[in-house]
Amino acid sequence: MGGCTSKPNDKYETSKEVADLKAQVDQLQRALAVAKAGQSGFPPAYAPSANYGQAPPYGNAYNNAYPNVGGPNAYGGGVGYGPPAGAAAGAAAGAAAGATGGVSSGSGGVVETLFFPDAKLPCRNMNKPGGCRRPHCEYAHEPTSLTRFLAHLGSARSSLDICVFTITNDDISDVVLSLHRRGVRVRIITDNDQAATQGSDIVKFVQAGILVRRDKTPAHMHHKFALIDGRLLLNGSFNWTRQAVTGNNENVTVLADPQLIRSFQAQFNKLWEQFK
């Protein structure tokens, strides 16, 4: 048998093919470096800010108590709740295949999808020095879908546009109020009937100086979405209530798709003008 008679360079005869191969190798090496560093593999286009997850009462405590869940670099250097299970391990494959342990890579796409109900609400004592010291605490001491949601919400640096049917959950409201106090421009559109119900946090937002508009129509303003800095969209069935967190079957998808964000921003702006 004559064996293989091809030359090593036969497969890559043009300089363009060689350059393409080198680019693929470089991309894989970068992805491996990301995975080794324990980062999430999120593209820079929508890597959250250094304030990720710092909005009180959610800060260093969860990472200190659960170092294997997240870390100081889990979201581009921020403090918050770690990436989905397998995200770091899948970063190398994600760079080539377009997915990172459930997180889509590339210029936009799905960041993650959160599902409810959570078994428990988060323990606020976890943010105190030493964490929670109650021997039989009934609240969650580990990241949950709600804490992940709060981390995304708390990553806002310049603007937060909220369009949600009903808001009664104090964990969420506290993050919104904290962002407002930090100078983030917050605008809220909500349903007029729900805004008047017992437990609604809309009055609290108005008293704090947050801009709020209600639909003032016989029908319901039934959207449940939020836009963060024009770079992230939170959208799904999830109302911002305790019942939705711990009782209902709900979902929130976090997206960084520019076209979807523009579409939802246009709808928000349309309703904002309509409900003057």
Residues designated catalytic: 222, 224, 229
Alpha carbon dihedral 67, 86, 147, 62, in 10-degree steps, equals 0
Q: Pairing state of beta strands 232-236 and 103-104?
A: unpaired
CA angle 181, 205, 200 (to 5 degrees): 140
What CA–CA distance (Å, rounded) separates 52 from 50? 5
Strand duo 110-116 + 250-255: pairing: antiparallel
Structure tokens belonging to residue 267: 């709808």
Burial 176-202 (b: 16+ CB within 10 A, else e): bbbbbeeebebbbbbbbbbbeeeebbb
The DSSP output letter for 25 is H
Residues 120 and 101: their CA atoms lie apart, in Å, by 25
Cα dihedral 182→187→193→199 (10° resolution): -10
Using alpha carbons, select from 80, 196, 96, 228 the residue that is nearest to residue 144: 80
Q: Is the CB of residue 110 less than 8 Å from the CB of residue 104?
A: yes
